[in-house]
Amino acid sequence: MQNILTTQGLRKVYRDVVALEGLSLTVESGQVFGLLGPNGSGKTTSLGILLGVLRSNAGDFSWFEKGNSDDLRKNIGSLLETPNFYPYLNAIDNLKVVGKIKEVHNLDATIEETLKKVGLYERRKSKFKTFSLGMKQRLALAAALLADPDVLVLDEPTNGLDPQGIAEMRTLINEIAQDGKTIILASHLLDEIEKMCSHVAILKNGKLLKVGTLGEIMIHDRILLVASEEKDQLMGAIAALSEIIFIKEEQGELMIAVEEQLTPSDVNRMFADKGIYLSSLREYKKNLESTFLEIVQ
């Protein structure tokens, strides 16, 4: 399988702020690769460097195992910021502008096909200024797809959308991935990453904490929800027990992570040995959110 992207030790510093520190990862052909992290984690900085918008202070990267020349980016479609089109032009005419810049062949037929793919064909003659935010995002995705690139790079593609718009964008991205395209996307929405991505890299404060398949990222520890009438003492016991990691409070219960081999009975006994008697103890179905919170602790 071809390496679509490799990065080695990418570093970016803004004055005295380290925005990215030593990012090294590999994206292979056909993957839907998610960069996941809170605001300020280095996701957008990473994509900016990879697309030639920003210069790194150190490190290197390569597209398609051929280096990082501008010419290679012709095979990359991107959606980096809020969609920006001519407000008084319709969808077709806006894409014609993009298509001429990208030197797309058979432009009229390609625009028609692409608008159908993103679900905007019925609104093809509507002015951009009349579009909802979700429609604007889909037109931006159409622009990214217009030259039929092998790779799509998307920065927060569902940002600002309502639940219906998020679901529509997710479905569209999954359909594009099924066509065999490699997709690299950055998001802070854990639920969406979990539903779209095959591989995940977790960033915090510019550093890569974890990278792997979604399955590899999520198999590590057992997640439990515990409660006691003596909440302060329970928190103290969690802090004192090295085998337990506190994740967050969840509707009156405390979410904790323990090693996979520790059973709920083992955990109950550990608290009892500390003089804490639990009023509730139950397993929590592990998902990307609980995994993410566990890792960034």
43 and 149 assigned to the same domain: yes
Q: Which domain holds residue 285?
A: 221-296
**Cα–Cα distance, 53 to 58 (Å, whole number):** 15
70 and 206 assigned to the same domain: yes
- Final residue before a domain boundary, out of 182, 200, 217: 217
pLDDT of residue 243: 82
169 and 286 assigned to the same domain: no
Q: Are 41 and 204 in contact (CB under 8 A)?
A: yes
Q: What's the burial of 251, exposed, middle or buried (CB within 10 Å: 0-12/13-18/19+)?
A: exposed
pLDDT of residue 195: 85
143 and 256 assigned to the same domain: no
Q: What is the pLDDT along the chain (297 residues), one digit of tens a residue?
A: 789 999 999 999 988 888 999 999 999 999 999 998 878 889 999 999 999 889 999 999 999 999 988 888 889 999 887 778 999 999 999 999 999 999 999 999 999 999 999 999 999 999 999 999 889 999 999 999 999 999 999 998 888 888 888 888 889 999 999 999 999 999 887 778 888 899 999 898 899 988 888 777 765 567 888 899 888 898 888 888 888 877 778 788 888 878 778 888 898 999 999 898 999 888 876 666 666 666 665
**Cα–Cα distance, 125 to 140 (Å, whole number):** 16
pLDDT of residue 64: 93
228 and 181 assigned to the same domain: no
Token pair 């604007």 in the structure block, residue? 136
Q: Are 49 and 58 in contact (CB under 8 A)?
A: no
Token pair 């006691």 in the structure block, residue? 228
- DSSP letters, the chain, are --EEEEEEEEEEEETTEEEEEEEEEEEETT-EEEEE--TTSSHHHHHHHHTTSS--SEEEEEETTS---GGGGGGEEEE-SS----TTSBHHHHHHHHHHHTT-SSHHHHHHHHHHHTT-GGGTTSBGGG--HHHHHHHHHHHHHTT--SEEEEESTTTT--HHHHHHHHHHHHHHHHTT-EEEEEES-HHHHHHH-SEEEEEETTEEEEEEEHHHHHSSEEEEEEE-S-HHHHHHHHHH-TTEEEEEEETTEEEEEEETT--HHHHHHHHHHTT---SEEEE----HHHHHHHHH-
pLDDT of residue 34: 92
Domain count of the chain?
2
- Final residue before a domain boundary, out of 185, 217, 249: 217
**Which residues share a beta bridge with 264?**
none
**Cα–Cα distance, 195 to 129 (Å, whole number):** 31
pLDDT of residue 100: 93
pLDDT of residue 290: 61
- Final residue before a domain boundary, out of 217, 251, 273: 217
**Cα–Cα distance, 221 to 261 (Å, whole number):** 9
pLDDT of residue 215: 73
72 and 163 assigned to the same domain: yes
pLDDT of residue 39: 80
The pair of three-digit structure tokens given for residue 235, joined into one six-digit string: 């928190």
161 and 92 assigned to the same domain: yes
Token pair 């964008």 in the structure block, residue? 169
Q: What is the pTM of this model?
A: 0.77
pLDDT of residue 166: 86
290 and 158 assigned to the same domain: no
133 and 249 assigned to the same domain: no
pLDDT of residue 249: 82
